Amino acid sequence: MSIKTAAVTGNEAASYALRQINPDVVAAYPITPQTELVQSFSEYVADGLVDTELITVESEHSAMSACVGAAAAGGRVMTATSANGLALMFEILFIAASNKLPIVMPVVNRALSGPINIHCDHGDTMAARDAGWIQIYSENAQEVYDNLIQAIRIAENMKVRLPVMVMFDGFIISHGIERVDYLDDATVRNFIGTYQPNHPLLDIDKPLTFGPLDLYDYYFEHKRQQAEDIKNSKPIILDVAREFKEISAREYGLFESYHLDDAETAIVVLSSAAGTAKAVVDELRDRGRKVGLLKPRVFRPFPYIEIAQALSHLKAIAILDRSVSFGSFGGPLFTEIRSAMVEFKKIPENFNIIFGLGGRDINEQDITGIYNQLDEVVKSGKVKERVQYLGVRD
């Protein structure tokens, strides 16, 4: 095993992972901020560095449709997209999951139109959270690379067989240059193994019908099975993480805790903002404040008991959402976690902060302000405003 250290963008790290995974078919369509990923992978194809057949489709709807056809045919299939592209795939996301097709898709998070905006928020993948895909959020380029490799193993596990989205923040991670430690090709290929087809369409001796009409006498049972399958992926995700640690020395779980055990207050936040928050935690800890952080990694299946348990000892928490769920009580992360906490007798004081829509920056001062607000809540025992919008002009 050898490690190659590189300074690359998140998109390049993702594309490098795709090269090592060497899918049989990739069908993709460009969209900012994912474009560079597809371009870079096209170069690997043009240079003959992969066995992949690349389908340069005429839309994302066709990208996901072709992925469904290719995965049903019986091979390893990937695509990638962002925002409007994901929205255009929407109908077929559900079909991919219900057919139990292990498609793996990096999604570079970008704000959904309208108005049109190319910068980061999580509105795109949050809107797709009930499509039946496993969803894994990444903090930085290293996690993008690591999560993609693990995603193949998770998706293709015979007990799971579900599609997986691996998310990372548009521009902040997709275009920012960071250090990434790459595993060597042989290690990755050995880790992911060869693709095991499951009832492939191309098996002409055992003809199967995919996508039948399924009415009130069976549809419900099939949906019930699907709910069970995604729930059961949780231990598999952890098994894969354990095995991945053996080849990478990097640790992954359903979520990451940062100085949480002895903390009195904490922030919960996904993706790149967690990196900024960690720096703030370090700084405040230096000044003797008992602050911590929880960064969910797996959003679907949502590790509700595990996260609620990990937060249960705290006095107050702020849950940050980089997306808005119009007309609901709070952001998606907030409503999930608040409802999970009901399982425990003592619920920490809590509030929701919606931030960063359309690429609005969140900085260390903003995060320090949130920790200060948490202290006030602990002192007064009162939450002034349950759902807040950070840094937005009135």
Partner 1 sequence: MAKLKDLVNKPEILSPGHRLCAGCGASIAVRQILSASDDPVVVACATGCLEVATTIYPYTSWRSPFIHNAFENVAATISGVETMYQSLKKQGKIDKEIKFIAFGGDGGTYDIGLQSLSGALERGHNFVYVCYDNEAYMNTGIQRSSATPRGAWTTTTPVGEVIPGKTQYRKDLTRIIAAHNIPYAAQASIWRWSDLIDKAHKAFYTKGPAFLNVLSPCHRGWRFPLEDTIKISKLAVQTNFWPLYEVENGKYKLNYKPKERLPITEWMKPQGRYKHLLTPENESIVEEIQQEIDNNWERLLVLSGEK
Binding site for partner 1 (CB under 8 A): 24-25, 27, 51-53, 55-59, 61-63, 65-75, 77, 91-92, 95, 201-204, 207-215, 218
Pairing of strands 164-169, 177-183: unpaired
Distances in whole angstroms, Cα of residue 150 to Cα of each of 71, 101, 165, 189, 191: 18, 16, 11, 12, 9
CA-closest candidate to residue 318, choices 367, 278, 280, 361: 367
CB-wise, 60 or 139, nearer to partner 1?
A: 60
Shortest spacing between CB 217 and partner 1, in angstroms: 8
Give the DSSP letter of residue 359.
Answer: G
Q: Which CB sits closer to partner 1, 42 or 62?
A: 62
Beta bridge mates, 6: 180
Name the minimum Å distance from CB 24 to partner 1: 4
Shortest Å, Cβ 69 to partner 1: 3
The 8-class DSSP code of residue 108 comes to E
- Residue 70 Cα to chain centre, angstroms: 23
Is the CB of residue 72 less than 8 Å from the CB of residue 103?
A: no
Q: Tokens 């990372």 label which residue?
A: 168
Q: CB-wise, 1 or 208, nearer to partner 1?
A: 208
Pairing assessment for the beta strands 291-296 and 265-268 based on DSSP bridges: parallel
Q: Which is nearer to partner 1, 215 or 249 (CB)?
A: 215
In this complex, which beta carbon is closest to partner 1, that of residue 155 or of residue 377? 155
What are the φ and ψ backbone dihedral angles of 188, each rounded to 5 degrees? Answer: -65, -45
**CB of residue 255 to partner 1, shortest distance in Å:** 34
Structure tokens at 208: 């199967």
